[in-house]
Structures are given as C-alpha cells and as structure tokens.
Amino acid sequence: MRIECIAIGTELLTTRRLDTNSVWLGERLADLGLAFHRKTAVGDSREDLRELFQEALLRSDLIIATGGLGPTFDDFTKELFAEILGVELVEDATARADMMAFYTARNRVPPQVNFKQALIPVGAEALRNPVGTAPGVWWEDPPGHPGVRIVMLPGVPREMKRMWEEQVEPRLRPLAGRARQTLRMVVAGVPESTLDERTRAVREGHGHLDWSILASLTQVELLVRSDDPRALEGVLSDMRPVLGSDLAAVGDGNLEDAVLEGLRLRGHTLAVAESMPGGLLAARLTAIPGASRSFLGGATVYSPVAKSALLGLPAAFLAEHGTVSEATTRALAEAVRRALGATWGLAVTGNAGPGAEGETQVGTVFLAVAGPGETVSTGRLIPGDRADVQLRSTAAALDYLRRQMA
C-alpha cells in the first residue's frame, strides 16, 4: 500500500509551524506495519493543491491530507478533491448537528461561514470531530480511482489525533499487515553518540529488528519494533544491564513521568524553587495528569525579592553568594522543602542568556536536591540558546532528583 501525506497550510512553508502532524501519523502507521512513501507540505493555494491532489490520486493508494477543513476563505481541501473527482459537496446532517451542538454547548451561535464545514463530497463519509467544528472525510474508491482511499483530517493536532485514533485507525487495521509493537526505552543524562556506542553490541545481537535512536533536548529514546513480543522482551533484558541507572523509563512515559512515578511509589512529595528556568520545571511536572498526588508546587524566584519574600532568603545571603550560585541553590532547595513540608526540595538557578548575568557565563546552571538525607548540589554548563538552556536545565534537574531518589 503506497501511502502519502499531504500537510496543507501556508504556515507550514514558512518558519512559523513545524509539520508535527505527519511525524505523529508516521509513528501510528509504523504501529500498523505501514509507512509513508512521501510527505508533502503545501500552501493554501488552489493551483498548488489541485496539482498535488491530481498527482497523488495517480501514485498513491492511501492519501492522508491534513488541514484546509476550516471555515475560512483559505480552506478548500474538500472542495478541490470534489472538483477534481467531479462530484458535488452536500451537507451532512450529522456534521451539521455536531457543529450546532458544539456551539450550543458554549452558548454561542455558529457564524455563517462555519456551515460550509458540514459539506461533504457525495460518496464520501464524514468523520465526526468530537473536539472541534471541522468534520473529516473518509473516501473509499472515489470516482475513477478504484482501490484508492482519501482521508481528510483537520490540521489542529488535537482534533487530527483523536479522529485518527477513533475513526481512521479502525478502518485501516483490516488493510494493514501484522501489527508491530514498539519497545521504547527512555535514557536520561547520556549523549546520543555515547548511547549509540554503548548499545551497539546489543543492537547488533538483535540486528534483524528495526531500531532507531531519537535524541531530543531532554532525553534520548531508543526504539525497537517487532511483530514478535518475545523478541522485544529479549531486547529489554539485554539492555537493562547495559543502560543501568541511565534507563529512566520504559514504555510511553518520559523523564517527568518517571520522576512522578518514583515519588508516588515511595509516597513522597516534591516542592521546587526555580529562578531560571522560570516556571518551566513546575510546568513540565504539572503537564502530567495526576501530578498533584506528589507535586505540592513551589516558587518561581525570578528576582532577588522573590527569593527573599517567598522563601525567606536574607538579602545579605544573596548579596554574599549571588543569585546564580551553588550556595544559593542549596539554600533555595532547603527553604522550599521546609516551607511546603515536602519530602524533597529541588532547586535550579542559572543563566539562560542571551546576555551574561554578573559573572556567570550563559549556560551556567546549578542544581540542588534537599531530601531526607543531606542536601546535594552540582553545577553544569549547558549548551544552546535561551530556550535550549531553559529546557535542558529542567531535564538535568529532574534527572538529578531521579538519581537521588533511587
């Protein structure tokens, strides 16, 4: 089955948006044992879209188009497919009812332009949108193209994902080969190239499987796919001794899930104090559902006054040690732990740039963990721009805490 992805939206051609939808779709296809042969991003231009849709109908068995289903003047995915295939658009009663219900639930009246969203090409099926107003389309055997399937989904990732999982995947599963499973190992505190070298022997020992290594700013993922679950169990038991305490999580979770899970299993609680990264550490923890079971909160001490007023650090102490220093970070970790009565206090200070701050170089980060035993602390120099340093410092902090808890 030749599958192609068409991501629609002028913003995908400029710098403002990465096409993350097609990456997510590629992952979901892989789980079905399927893969894209081509992915295209194209602007909201009738001519470019018409040309691309025509080509795609000739070369692909399954066309997945995202975007261009909205109510505005630059949305015409359905309209163009219908035009090329020579059919009319007709209003779908369920799509219209869903849209009315969406607005009614919000005490609003749909703007007139929104009604065009309920139009579906004759012969195609509407895919319901439970989280937005744009229905999708599933179109099997469109006129003149027997065996072809066209899927149109909204470009909004949340809507696209939900509709894919609930409505498209069930329709595709009978067409897919034997489902493959993925073993995902999340490694923290180790650079990608080191992980590559260290795991080479195990990977070569399971060389018939499909491997990939994916590095992000906060962790490295080692992925392996197989249609045989026992093969994946074998990989995991070979990898565990090689990865040791660097293996932060197995499965869907990330580093922050591993930290929250570690706290929950021990019945422990956590409070944080962060100057740089300025709230991002707390935000990454509270992004996880159920975080409130273990995470009590903390202080974003972005100024000297915040360090004194919220956590009681004396101005004289800050004047002596500076706001970005190991001593201050230790004091913050101890103070936030004490203030909230938490099992663990985790503190971060640093300079994410763009400019040097006092005597501290851009990228300087201090971490401290105050816990039931003695307070520990460390200094790091983290490369990258402001956003990188902020994000990487949260990963370094979470990993530092994870290792103290172990």
Residues written for the chain: 406
Nearest to residue 209, comparing CAs of 187, 237, 230, 188?
Answer: 230
Phi, psi of 377 (to 5 degrees): -155, 160
Min dist CB 142 to a second copy, Å, is: 22
Q: Which is nearer to a second copy, 171 or 198 (CB)?
A: 198
Q: How far is the CB of 60 from a second copy (least distance, A)?
A: 11
x/- map, 49-68, a second copy, by CB under 8 A: --xx--x---x---------
Q: Output the CA angle 257-216-197, nearest 5 degrees.
A: 105
* Residue ranges with strand state E in 239-390: 247-250, 270-274, 295-300, 344-350, 364-370, 376-381
Q: Is 211 in the site for a second copy (CB under 8 A)?
A: yes
Contact predicate 167/80, CB 8 Å:
no
Q: Is residue 353 within the footprint of a second copy (CB under 8 A)?
A: yes
Report if residue 275 touches a second copy, rule: CB under 8 A. Answer: yes
**Which CB atom, from 194 or from 245, has the smaller least distance to a second copy?**
194
Q: Nearest-5° angle of CA 206, CA 212, CA 214?
A: 145
Nearer to a second copy, 124 or 391 (CB): 391
Say which residue the tokens 């990977």 belong to.
Answer: 203
- The residue type found at 344 is W
Query: Per rule CB under 8 A, is residue 37 in the interface with a second copy?
Result: yes
Peptide bond into 146 cis (omega under 30): no
The answer to whether residues 272 and 346 touch, using CB atoms and an 8 Å cutoff, is yes
CA-wise closest residue to 216 among 387, 349, 19: 387
CA 121, distance to chain mean position in Å, is 33
Q: Closer CB to a second copy, residue 102 or residue 317? A: 102
Cross-strand bridge partners of residue 89: 121
Whether 32 contacts 179, CB under 8 Å: yes
Chosen residue from 97, 101, 122, 131 binding a second copy by CB under 8 A: 131
Among 261, 286, 376, 403, binds a second copy (CB under 8 A): 286
Q: Are 302 and 278 in contact (CB under 8 A)?
A: yes
Preceding amide of 71 cis, omega within 30: no
Contact region for a second copy (CB under 8 A) — 29-37, 78-86, 87-95, 257-265? 29-37
Q: How far is the CB of 128 from a second copy (least distance, A)?
A: 16
CB of 141 to a second copy, least distance (A): 24
Specify the residue, 167 or 394, whose C-beta has the smaller distance to a second copy: 394
Tell me if 396 sits within 8 A of 219, measured CB to CB.
no
Instruction: Name which of residues 78 to 117 contact a second copy (CB under 8 A).
Output: 106, 110-114
Number of residues this chain uses to bind a second copy (CB under 8 A): 102
Of 114 and 124, the one with the shorter C-beta distance to a second copy is: 114
**Given the rule CB under 8 A, which of 30-38, 76-84, 172-180, 395-403 is the region that contacts a second copy?**
30-38
Q: Interface residues for a second copy in 226-265 (CB under 8 A)?
A: none
Which 151-210 positions form the footprint of a second copy (CB under 8 A)? 158, 192-194, 196-197, 203
Of 137 and 195, CB closest to a second copy: 195
Closest CA to 120 of 91, 87, 142: 91
Site string for a second copy, 356-385 (x = CB under 8 A): -------------------------x-xxx
Options 16, 178, 208, 230; binder of a second copy; rule CB under 8 A: 16
Report the C-alpha gap between 294 and 41 in whole angstroms: 42
CB of 366 to a second copy, least distance (A): 17
**CA 134 – CA 3 distance, rounded (Å):** 23
In the complex, minimum distance from the CB of residue 180 to a second copy, in angstroms, rounded to a whole number: 11
What count of other Cβ atoms lies within 10 Å of the Cβ of residue 101?
A: 11
Of 287-326, binders to a second copy (CB under 8 A) are 287, 289, 291-292, 295-303, 305-306, 309-310
